[in-house]
Amino acid sequence: MAEVIIQVQHLSKTFGTNTVLRDMDFTVSEGDVTCIIGSSGSGKSTLLRCINLLERPTTGEILFHGVPINAKGSDANAYRAKVGMVFQSFNLFNNMTVLENCMVGPIKVLKKDPEQVRQTALRFLEKVGMAPYINAKPRQLSGGMKQRVAIARALTMEPEVLLFDEPTSALDPQMVGEVLTVMRQLASEGLTMIVVTHEMAFARDVSSHVVYMSDGVICEEGTSQQIFENPQNLRTREFLSRFTNR
């Protein structure tokens, strides 16, 4: 059994009187590719943002290697440095080139040697196919290119887990393909990933674990085979029928 990295226990999140997540329990082990699927507004992104502490959970705990990270006095920044995040809207730093985007985190946050970081960054940029564009600024790149740079930026931090928040939702079909190819490759190399996505084919083929969420609760979870071929819950079946009949 692989080591458990992230454990979400009894997590709830409310915005004012609006409850978005209700008493979630959820575990991620090393090497898992967990896909979180569900209709818009079901709380998928909020869950992911809570895991990275971009949103503070209202109640409940998040354990990272068994240590609670949303307790008072714990260092959220040190934790975030170990858990990478790729956003729907890329969020590349507009004032930096592609290479600087990848290098700034390891140098400023992890205080690593710049020359070593440069090598790491170039290696990952090569991997996502963006090495020729190291001198470009984000505004000069297409959406798919930006997202691949964002992935390289997250990887250069050498995180233990990489979170993807609908990484292809802002892209056209061709760009979706190029980003998913990169993600498939990372999954096959054993990177631990949590992916919120509407790309059902990707979820079916790549994930080791699928979570179907609806109305702030986990309706059903299991292996990709269990969820996609033999869903037990009525709502899961209904949601997936729209995908399979497409």
Partner 1 sequence: MSPLPEANDFFGWVAWILEEYSGMLLAGAWKTMVIAVIATAIGCLIGFAVGIVQTIPANRRENPVRWFIVGLAKLIMNIYVEVFRGTPMMVQAAFIYYGAAMLFNLHMETFRAALLIVSINTGAYMAETVRGGILSIDPGQTEGAMAIGMNHMQTMTNVILPQALRNIMPQIGNNLIINIKDTCVLSIIGVVELFYNVKSITGATYAFFPAYTIAMVLYFILTFTCSRILRAMEDKMAGPDSYDLAMTDMLLGEGTMRIKPNRAETNADYRAHKEHGRDIGSREGGTD
Q: In whole angstroms, how close is the CB of 32 to partner 1 at the nearest point?
A: 20
- Smallest distance, partner 1 to C-beta of residue 138, A: 10
Taking CB under 8 A as the criterion, the residue among 23, 31, 54, 169 binding partner 1 is 54
Residues 83-102 that bind partner 1 (CB under 8 A): 84-85, 87, 89-95, 97
Q: Is 229 helix (H, G, I), strand (E, B) or coil?
A: helix
Q: What does the alpha-carbon distance between residue 232 and residue 227 come to, in Å, rounded to a whole number?
A: 8
Asked if 119 interacts with partner 1 (CB under 8 A), we say yes
Write down the residue that tokens 């986990």 correspond to. Answer: 218
**178 or 220, CB closer to partner 1?**
178
Contact call for residue 103 and partner 1 (CB under 8 A) = no
Q: What is the C-alpha to C-alpha distance for residues 188 and 223, in angstroms, rounded to an integer? A: 16
User: Are 10 and 24 spatial neighbours (Cβ–Cβ below 8 Å)?
Assistant: yes
Tokens 């269990």 belong to 226
- For partner 1, which stretch binds (CB under 8 A), given 3-11, 124-132, 173-181, 185-193? 124-132
Interaction between residue 131 and partner 1 (CB under 8 A): yes
Query: Does residue 134 belong to the site contacting partner 1 (CB under 8 A)?
Result: yes
Q: Stretches 35-43, 115-123, 213-221, 229-237: which one binds partner 1 (CB under 8 A)?
A: 115-123
Secondary element (H or E) of residue 33: strand 33-37
What's the closest the beta carbon of residue 57 comes to partner 1, in angstroms? 11
Q: How many other β-carbons are positioned within 10 Å of the β-carbon of residue 119?
A: 11
Q: How far is the CB of 53 from partner 1 (least distance, A)?
A: 8
CB 1 within 8 A of CB 59: no
The span from the CA of 35 to the CA of 89, in Å, is 19
Using rule CB under 8 A, residue 12 touches partner 1? no
- Closest C-alpha among 202, 245, 234, 244 to residue 37: 202
Query: How long is the chain?
Result: 246
64 near partner 1 (CB under 8 A):
no
**Residues contacting residue 43 through CB under 8 Å, at least 6 positions apart:** 13, 20, 21, 213, 215, 216
Among residues 150 and 240, whose Cβ is nearest to partner 1?
150
**Should residue 127 be labelled a site residue for partner 1 when binding is judged by CB under 8 A?**
no
Q: Which residues bind partner 1 (CB under 8 A)?
A: 52, 54, 56, 72, 77-82, 84-85, 87, 89-95, 97, 104-105, 108-110, 119, 122-123, 126, 131-137, 140, 150, 153-154, 157
